[in-house]
Amino acid sequence: MSRLLWRKSILALAGIILASGFGAAEAQRNLKAPKKRYTGPGTTPNLRNIIIGRCYHYMSLYPATGVKDCSGVWQELTDAVFRKEPCNITEEDYKKLAQVTAQTIPCDKSLLWSRTNDLVHRYTKATESFMTLEDTFLGFLFNGLTWCGKTASPGMNYNACPSWKECTNNSLSSFWKIASATFSQASCGTVHVMLNGSADGAITRKERC
Ligand SMILES: *[C@@H]1O[C@H](CO)[C@@H](O)[C@H](O)[C@H]1NC(C)=O
Ligand SMILES: *[C@@H]1O[C@H](CO)[C@@H](O)[C@H](O)[C@H]1NC(C)=O
Ligand SMILES: *[C@@H]1O[C@H](CO)[C@@H](O)[C@H](O)[C@H]1NC(C)=O
């Protein structure tokens, strides 16, 4: 049941992204403007240092994570996006990255959320009893960051990346899709789901295994 709700909200989100994507494409055609590349902010400056720093930080915060190859994490990210069209990145491209960042999620601690971002993080910080996507190794490493590659050469594009709504298979949305799917699959026992009451329903808890 909880997974179903989760899927439903992902589908709804995908629907919104799709709808606005078509709208933007239509507007662009009407204007007959030269093809504008990407409308989102470019790759976060110092991305490599931030990710490697967060990687070591996470291991010190949560020693149970074990020893991770922080340079290897960066390597898998570059393999996923370098020399690729940033609007043509799929979950498949991030598979290796998800593998090298795999971790054991403590049972009964997972909290999935939808449209309650602020609230859920205030709640988990206050109680420290739940784990959200951003508390997982993969989510912690990339939370709040932007990145995309370039087709012509290896390296990140620091000027502009696709915004969330610009195309379906973009470097960020595909990453967060696989990150949340991996978290939800690794979760065990009781999985808690927090939905926005004004949008979806209520706080639910559900057994799964
Ligand atoms: C999109 O990615 C796939 C697989 O990586 C590749 O085969 C295809 O040529 C790419 N298409 C474009 C338009 O870049
Ligand atoms: C719930 O959704 C509404 C409308 O989308 C939003 O204004 C509100 O901030 C959300 N509540 C929480 C707790 O995130
Ligand atoms: C996005 O990627 C999926 C494969 O994961 C593919 O089936 C789909 O056609 C792609 N969508 C677009 C708009 O390129």
> Is residue 87 annotated as part of the catalytic site, yes or no?
no
Ligand 2 lining (C-beta closer than 6 Å): 115-116, 118-119, 196, 198-199
Report which ligand 2 atom has the smallest distance to the Cα of 119: 13
Average of per-residue pLDDT values in the chain:
79
Q: How far is the CA of 169 from the centre of ligand 3 (A)?
A: 6
| pTM flag (> 0.85) | no
* Domain edges within the chain: 1-33, 40-208
Q: Domain 40-208's class?
A: mainly alpha
Q: Ligand 3 pocket, 85 CB below 6 A?
A: no
Which one of 70, 148, 161, 188 is the catalytic residue?
188
Q: What is the pLDDT of residues 92-137, one digit of tens each?
A: 999 999 999 999 888 877 777 766 666 666 766 666 677 888 889 9
Q: What is the pLDDT of residues 47-78, one digit of tens each?
A: 999 999 999 999 999 998 889 999 999 999 99
Label residue 187 by pLDDT band (50, 70, 90): confident
- What is residue 195's three-state secondary structure? strand
Q: 52 vs 47, 99, 119, 138, 163, CA distance in Å?
A: 9, 17, 28, 12, 24
Among left, alpha and beta (phi > 0; psi -120 to 50; other), residue 83 is left
Report which ligand 1 atom has the smallest distance to the Cα of 88: 1
Q: Residue 167, exposed/middle/buried by CB under 10 A (0-12, 13-18, 19+)?
A: buried
